[in-house]
Amino acid sequence: MELLTGRIRDYAWGSRTVIAQLQGRPAPAPGPEAELWLGAHPGAPSQVRRGGALVGLPELIDQDPVGWLGETTATRFDGRLPYLMKVLAAETPLSLQAHPDAAQARAGYAAQSKQPSTSAVRNYVDPHHKPELLVALSEFDALCGFRAPQLSAEVLAALGVDELEPVTKALRVGPGGLPEALERLLRWPVPQRPALVAAAVAGADRLPTRYAADAALLRRLAGHYPVDPGVLVALLLNQVTLAPGEAIWMPAGNLHAYLRGAGVEIMAASDNVLRGGLTPKHVDVAELLRVLRFEVLDDPVVRARPVASGVVTWPVPVAEFALHRVVLDAGVRQASVPVDGPRVVLCVAGEVTVDDGVAAVPIPSGQAAVGPAGGTPLVVSGTGTAFVASVDPSID
């Protein structure tokens, strides 16, 4: 194992305190710190110190892909680290978004490969899918997947905005009406959007108390995006408040948005995003509608499954990654984590030491370590909490 230096992304929605406090730096930070990236993604690759200099993790993997990734992972994922781990710290809402499946990503990337990679209207910047798992570090608010459309119809109708009647009519059809309802909102005429949002916010005062959470969400989002119909799209989705340790799983085609809080996120190493609103960035309605899965997600929360004393995981059906959490205290001072392939370890509280059978490395809070594929379990000791990212070879 070796210490790994991550990269902080300064997106405008980020917190100025969460990552700084996690790393023991003065807070508030000078500017927003939205995400700490830990991995080999070309957008912000992590670094390893070698001979007094920092060397990019992608370079090290390229020099010896089988040694770093293991033969199976190197072959299956074309010599690249297939996952990216992040600390995400949201102070204000992120965009409504979804991600393509593997086939859609390959086709979309091929179709747009002649466009500049930095183009603001390009949807596909790589040929990979991007399923995601987020585990809350703090109370975490999110929108995740479509809720029962009949309930959404009731809420929209109770707003008393006549212009929304075609949307509520489509929703009353059930899941089969979701595509029409969503498209009507996303394609709302631009000159009429401010009046629509203002009327909806005024109507929130008329909502029955059983819809108090919807009223609060509408007002909150309209405060950030007063001319964006995405504030009404949000009312079609499940509102989720995660407790620390709970997770949400976002497979391909799942419309979602993070609203507030801190969490550890792991995903397939891709940056393909189709946005649907709550953002000044490019929104491609046609492509978003094409990749979405219009199905009701009854329970988007993923509960932890115990693996060993002090160790839990959140099973998800992808081969690119697996995530374990290790909690060490007076009762459990050492734990063995059954990981496969290359591993990244992030400490989020206290200090832990990780030993892969070759080298043991102490990791303080907010720091990380990386190690190549090995045949022995990873041993974590000390007092604190750590997340361990690896691959899952059991998934076909």
Instruction: Give the CA distances from residue 353 to residues 133, 237, 310, 359, in Å, rounded to whole numbers and listed in that order.
Output: 25, 41, 15, 10
- Which of 83, 44, 72, 87 shows the shortest CA–CA distance to 270? 83
- Which of 195, 202, 273, 259 shows the shortest CA–CA distance to 227? 195
Catalytic residue among 193, 275, 325, 343: 275
Distance (Å, rounded) from C-alpha 316 to C-alpha 12? 30
Cβ atoms of 240 and 261 closer than 8 Å: no
275 is catalytic: yes
- Which of 380, 370, 371 shows the shortest CA–CA distance to 349? 380
Which letter does DSSP use for residue 15 in this model? B
Name residue, tokens 């094409």: 290
Q: In terms of C-beta density within 10 A (0-12 exposed, 13-18 middle, 19 or more buried), how is residue 280 classed?
A: exposed
The continuous run of DSSP H or E covering 336 comes out as strand 334-337
Phi then psi for residue 334, to 5 deg, are: -150, 140
The residues carrying an active-site annotation are 275
